[in-house]
């Protein structure tokens, strides 16, 4: 203890103080910046692995979404003819009705039913019938605009949604479609396959519902079919 009146000794100025452990060796105390803590190497490695796993999961999610979108499209397309099926058409019809109700756009629904198609199936088999259906679908797609919608409802029934078209124009267009489908001739073994078509037309209006529109178009088509049957003598040997 210092004598009375003396001062406590000041700490030495210079290098860091030395700690003398029991072993007798001196160990220098390292100066560290306040708050600086270096993460262990294992933690950095785990973080990098987690980031890579997140990136891989994101890539899988993107691929899964693309696959779902592809399957949704396929679910609305007829596998045989590659035009819309009934499900796809009903979606387009609902969209068209909503558009007509909001903007007053003129849209016509053309309903087609093939004539003599059953006799083709009965005489030549379903493969021949499939060839006819493919040819009809291709003919419809070629003879309508890109903005129009072609669909196969099932069996030998097709529909076309025609946008921005007046009554006179849609009548002329359906007459051209009747002629184009009637001109289809497919060589099948020793025969030439051909069919006719009956077409019903209805205009979409703001108060219409999808089921009502289809029912009116179906009735208009059958009225046309009866008129054609009365006007044209039956074929003695249908192909």
Per cent of the chain over pLDDT 90 is 63
The domain in which residue 140 lies consists of: 86-231
Report the predicted TM-score, pTM, of the whole model to 2 decimal places. 0.70
Q: Are residues 120 and 201 in the same domain?
A: yes
Could you give the CA distance from residue 202 to residue 111 in angstroms, rounded to a whole number? 8
For position 238, what pLDDT does the model report?
A: 47
pLDDT confidence tier of residue 232, bands split at 50, 70 and 90? low
Helix (H, G, I), strand (E, B) or coil at 76: coil
Q: CA-to-CA distance for 156 and 136, rounded, in angstroms?
A: 9
Same domain, yes or no, for 94 and 170? yes
Please report which helix (H) or strand (E) contains residue 201, including its range: strand 196-203
The residue to which tokens 């093939």 are assigned? 114
Q: Is residue 106 part of a domain?
A: yes
Distance of alpha carbon 150 from alpha carbon 83, whole angstroms: 6
Domain contains 212: yes
In terms of pLDDT, which residue wins out, 172 or 5?
172
Same domain, 69 and 108: no
Q: Answer for the pair 107, 96: CB distance below 8 angstroms, yes or no.
A: yes
Cα 217 from Cα 81, distance rounded (Å): 22
168 domain-assigned: yes
Is 170 in the same domain as 206? yes
Residue 12 maps to a domain: no
Structure tokens at 190: 């020793």
The reported pLDDT for the residue numbered 177 is 97
Domain boundary among 75, 96, 123: 75
Question: In 76-191, which residue ranges form alpha helices assigned H by DSSP?
Answer: 86-103, 117-124, 126-143, 167-182
Residues 115 and 93 placed together within one structural domain of the fold: yes
In a domain, 21, yes or no: no
On whether both 102 and 65 belong to a single domain, the answer is: no
Instruction: Indicate whether 143 and 165 sit together in one domain.
Output: yes
Whether 125 and 150 share a structural domain:
yes
Note whether 53 and 115 are same-domain residues. no
Hey, what's the torsion of the CAs at 75, 85, 126, 130, to 10 degrees? -100
Does residue 74 sit in helix, strand or coil? Answer: helix
**Is residue 51 one of the residues assigned to a domain?**
yes
The whole-angstrom separation of Cα 176 and Cα 169 is 11
Q: Which residues contact 182 (CB under 8 A, 6 or more apart)?
A: 194, 195, 196, 197
pLDDT tens-digit series, residues 159-206: 999 999 999 999 999 999 999 999 999 999 999 999 999 999 999 999
Catalytic residue among 78, 156, 212, 218: 156
Give 216-221's long-range contacts (Cβ < 8 A, gap of 24+): 217/109, 217/110, 217/111, 217/159, 218/111, 220/111, 221/111, 221/112, 221/113
Segment 12-34 mean pLDDT = 53
Number of domain units in the chain = 2
Residues 56 and 124 in one domain: no
Looking at the fold, whether 116 and 221 belong to one and the same domain comes out as: yes
- Does some domain include residue 107? yes
Q: Domain for residue 48, yes or no? A: yes
Interval 84-137: pLDDT, tens: 999 999 999 999 999 999 999 999 999 999 999 999 999 999 999 999 999 999
CATH no. for residue 169?
3.30.70.270
What is the Cα–Cα distance from 106 to 79, expressed in whole angstroms?
Answer: 30
Q: Which of 52, 75, 98 is the last residue of a domain?
A: 75
Active site residue 55: no
Do both 158 and 191 map to the same domain?
yes
Element at 160 (helix H, strand E): strand 157-163
């Amino acid at each position: 203890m210092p004598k009375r009146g003396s001062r406590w000794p000041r700490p030495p100025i210079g290098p860091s103080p030395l700690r003398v452990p029991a072993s007798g060796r001196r160990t220098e105390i390292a100066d560290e910046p306040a708050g600086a803590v270096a993460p262990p190497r294992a933690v950095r490695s785990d973080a990098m692995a987690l980031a890579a796993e997140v990136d891989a999961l994101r890539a899988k999610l993107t691929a899964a979404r693309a696959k779902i979108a592809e399957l949704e499209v396929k679910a609305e397309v007829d596998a045989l003819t590659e035009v819309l099926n009934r499900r796809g058409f009903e979606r387009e019809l609902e969209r068209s009705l909503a558009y007509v109700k909001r903007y007053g756009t003129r849209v016509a629904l053309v309903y087609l039913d093939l004539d003599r198609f059953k006799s083709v199936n009965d005489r030549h088999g379903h493969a021949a019938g499939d060839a006819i259906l493919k040819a009809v679908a291709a003919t419809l797609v070629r003879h309508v605009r890109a903005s129009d919608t072609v669909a196969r409802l099932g069996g030998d029934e097709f529909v076309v949604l025609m946008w921005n078209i007046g009554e006179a124009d849609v009548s002329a267009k359906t007459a051209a479609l009747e002629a184009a489908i009637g001109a289809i001739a497919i060589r099948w073994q020793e025969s030439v396959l051909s069919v006719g078509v009956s077409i019903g037309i209805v205009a979409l209006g703001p108060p219409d519902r999808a089921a009502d529109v289809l029912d009116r178009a179906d009735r208009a088509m059958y009225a046309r079919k009866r008129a054609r049957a009365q006007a044209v003598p039956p074929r003695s040997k249908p192909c």
